[in-house]
Structure 1
């Protein structure tokens, strides 16, 4: 909520930051959360568990997962893997190669008007070490996702987040990635977001975009963590080169109530303009959580 604290939003304007809200508010287009349908819409080989793959390797994950974080996702390298991973509600699809990119698009009647791309540096077992929120265009991704939006999202106006591997869509969300509005442009970008959902079109001066980084801290599973003291949070957020700090769990909820990848429990995200500064901030946080 820190990104929206300084920007007024009319009470009648609803901007989803959670997939559960986006699902409720967009009945016509909520089929986008069906990952099997998204794969089929691009001509990828895919089928629900129960229909065996004709070849391996393939990728398997839940057809629906509104909690995110890669829960239940895995590669299947053989028929034995498929048998061990089989469960209702999951599907397999073509195993794609290439960079994992998260793209946010501002869309009006299915037509993209603005986009930014974040490339993930993967860690262990579904985690990410950091994301680079690039200032550059991604022509291959923009061509593919733009054509796909114009075909499949006609009638939809708002933000859409599309995750791609090798420029092919692996999943979609009727919202934006709320980790990095500050890296998109801060308050002016949030103001443009409010105008978009209020019916005012898309108007945002993006000529001064710059590359930023979102450095992620995962801690081991099996512990109950506490938020850092406010003084430490303020100190880290004020470090040179750091743009913002997010604590990404609810300390009043049990750890197993959070959707997390197998490789770790995400406790914090440091947004920064200098990745070395972000890494230094992360290590300060790591000392807190390990103690």
Structure 2
């Protein structure tokens, strides 16, 4: 018993040290957000602001249309998250529920698309969206995230673990296929569907390349691009971009704290279920 306690104490101590090490950059970012330029230059490695100030936040709001870009990012991330949960769950339900000719071959082709880097489709996507008149709109940022092979795989793995007897019981009770999907498949697969929503929200929220390429107007830009525009080659400014990065990290931290604990661990573990 004593040996077990010592082992657990060592493990917890090691995890605590690792957690602190991974938290240092974030703590440094928070502290720098409340530092003046002189304090940053004088003690750049000190994460504690000796003379806290809110001037960085004021300057940030003056340099870029912060709240417009913030809510643009929220709208895009939420839209991508909802669309991804709905579309991927429907596709995964078809692969887990039905048996049809060529099912395994089709699923293999879907999974094989994971090997294609997104950069390879960037130029064709730009040409296609330009012909459709979608440039400088949110459509190129939302619709491509509707379906992805990894999200389909994760949802399918969870739905495959649902006993087929539950589906059969629902059909015997007179439930339609849509009713079976909504009342059986979705509630019992929320661990996988929830993690798909979380991951897609974070990917869309942190995306820099797509808004930079497909958006032109400043009032349509997302915060990830807006923060990068504050870099001035003729004047050093460390505090304002770091302050913007700190504010940009807040929604993700809130989301993970509120709903992430419910879905994140169980959703990631669901991917290990044998299909």
The TM-score normalised by the length of structure 1 is: 0.27
**Whose helix proportion is higher, 1 or 2?**
2
* Greater relative contact order (CA < 8 Å, ≥ 6 in sequence): 2
The structure that has the greater radius of gyration is: 2
